[in-house]
Amino acid sequence: MAPPPLLLLQDVRHAIGTTPLLDGATLSVSAGERLALVGRNGSGKSTLLRIAAGEIEPHGGGTRFLQPGTTLRTLPQEPELGGHGTVWDYVAAGLGPADDPHRARTLLAALGLTGEEAPARLSGGEARRAALVRVLAPSPDILLLDEPTNHLDLPAIAWLERELAGMRGTALVLISHDRRFLGSLTRAMVWLDRGVTRRLEQGFSGFEAWRDQVLEEEERDRHKLDRRIVREEHWLRYGVTARRKRNMRRVGELAALRRRRREALKPTGTVRMAAAEGAGLGSLVIEAKGIAKRYGDAPPVVHGFSTRILRGDRVGLVGPNGAGKTTLLNLLTGMLAPDEGVVRLGTGLAMVTLDQKREALDPALSLAETLTGGRGDTVFVGGQARHVIGYMKDFLFQPDQARTAVGALSGGERGRLLLARALSKPSNLLVLDEPTNDLDLETLDLLEEVLAEYAGTALVVSHDRDFLDRVATSVIVAEGDGRWQEYAGGYTDMVAQRGRGVEAFAATGITAAAMKVEAAAPAAAVARRRLNPAQLHALGALPARMEALGREIAPLRRALADPTLYARDRGRFERFSTALAEKQAALAAAEEEWLALEMLREEIEAAG
């Protein structure tokens, strides 16, 4: 018999104004469970978490039960440290009579804080670290964490993963956009969609395929019942599967870009360099030779760094907070002059920067006014006129949001709006500083698709390892002492070549031991220098299998395209629908397996 839950929400109904948000949602948390709460921005995840914490009452009813004596702590998406003189005062206020202050001091030191800092002077990352210490120090029975990795650098994220993994007796409920973080820590999924929760007793690795299956079943039911669904809502929900499958096919394109980048990073002789200069005429975006920058008598932030970035490259910049990522970015884009060396920018460079602080958005303007500049209903994208409603739909906004004030949008919606506005401006160089903050998984898929289709070059500063794996053709890493090194491929490729992940500098207090777990798997992969016989056989057989599945899918699609089929022969319609779903799933799995094997083969050949 299963133990009773520590926390139980049943039939929770809640609305904001007249807009329903939760419509019969449930949430059950047992001792030691590891749950991920996922859903689109604005679906009510944070609200459900606040109801679970007892911070607000649901307007439309529902029950909340917390086992007597259960301790619960909540990390909000935007921690409020006001009213406290020091960070230690803020942390100590969260401790109970039986909690150990020494553990809180130890956690502060591990995260690079002394406790004497003034809350008003903390950066976003420092405030997030202080808030984490406040909720982790008591070792509660239940931890509710809303976007815990926002504003954290890679060493802090790795440290947090280890810390949460070690809290075996604590139940976790996580809201996060970080796929790698969710995959490491969660064992069950709660999907909040259109006010209703669905639960999957698997970790995050199985979630997206399960979600797609649920949506495909709903799509079939829609045909069976011949319901009328608003077109925009239909696209928002069921377009998720199509976007994800397109993104998987683009993995092959990304592999080709990485091969090109790997060749560009190899040491070259005089003759080869001359040929590259001639062939690359007009394609050069940024060339840096021996650049260096220091401030006063401090150690150099950048020292002796060189790179050559071409049109179409997607270059990630990673490193701990304080490494100098912004300084290097400003040097590469010509916003800051180097103390030594030279930076050459391509002719006709048109740069657009995504402001992740969201300071560029006027909260009083409507969504449509922000996109059009207050001039009519037209947005010019790539020289083409687009109606603002149609352009909004590309970024998952619904038509009735056109007159919504920016100040009323959620954090994720503001992130999407900034992305939409940035991409509406003519550019051939995108500079994205932490673009994934506050974005839901569907919007991340959309951003990856946009970057895959973008004809220009992108420089991306990010702490999201999975995102870098999906979009980057190379990664520039802070090595310490002002040294930066570029590696071909995404974040996992970098770890495999480097033998370790991104360590914190000594001043941050997070040691390199925090990265051992992350480095272990890629390091083992480097040691495997050849494909086994089964992998070789699959690599040769899968293309024929994919071609055969494509031939089998085509007639099924043609048959189901007949709008009269369901009325004429319901049984045949259902058989064809089931067969199509099965063969599409088989094709997607075959594509993923082939691409993974092909990329592994290329990595082994490059390493050899």
Task: Give the SS3 label for residue 535.
Answer: helix
Q: Is the pLDDT of residue 135 over 60?
A: yes
Domains of the chain (ranges; CATH) run: 7-212 (3.40.50.300), 254-527 (3.40.50.300), 528-608 (1.10.287)
Residue 379 near residue 371, CB atoms below 8 Å:
yes
Query: Comparing 228-232, 316-320, 407-411, which segment has the lowest mean pLDDT?
Result: 228-232
Residue 53 near residue 206, CB atoms below 8 Å:
no
Read off the pLDDT band of 232 (50, 70, 90).
very low
Highest mean pLDDT pick, 3-17, 64-78, 263-277, 375-389: 64-78
Q: How far is CA 107 from CA 73, 114, 131, 139, 269, in A?
A: 16, 10, 11, 12, 51
**Between the CA atoms of 546, 548, 554 and 555, what dihedral angle is there, to the nearest 10 degrees?**
-150
Highest mean pLDDT pick, 64-68, 282-286, 414-418: 64-68
Residue 366: DSSP 8-state? B
Q: Give the rounded percent of residues in the chain with a pLDDT score beyond 90.
A: 37
Supply the Cα-derived Rg of the chain in whole angstroms: 25
CA distance 542 to 281: 39
- Encoded tokens for 414: 């503001």
CA angle 552, 557, 562 (to 5 degrees): 140
Q: How far is CA 505 from CA 125, 305, 518, in A?
A: 15, 19, 17
Q: How far is CA 463 from CA 168, 212, 438, 607, in A?
A: 26, 27, 13, 26
Q: Pick the more confident residue, 381 or 73.
A: 73
CA distance 453 to 48: 36
Label the pairing between strands 188-193 and 34-38: parallel
Read off the pLDDT band of 2 (50, 70, 90).
low
Q: Is the pLDDT of residue 354 over 70?
A: yes
Q: What is the DSSP string of 10-74?
A: EEEEEEETTEEEEEEEEEEE-TT-EEEEE--TTSSHHHHHHHHTTSS--TT--EEEE-TT--EEE
Q: How far is CA 357 from CA 411, 419, 463, in A?
A: 11, 12, 16
**Considering the chain, what is the average pLDDT of its residues?**
81
Read off the pLDDT band of 358 (50, 70, 90).
low
Angle between helices 491-498 and 570-607 (to 10 degrees): 30
Closest CA to 574 of 235, 225, 273, 329: 225
pLDDT of residue 181: 93
Task: Tell me the pLDDT tens digit for each residue of 565-576.
Answer: 777 887 887 788
Q: Is the pLDDT of residue 228 over 60?
A: no
For 88, half-sphere exposure in the C-beta direction (CA atoms, 13 angstrom radius) is: 11
Read off the pLDDT band of 355 (50, 70, 90).
low
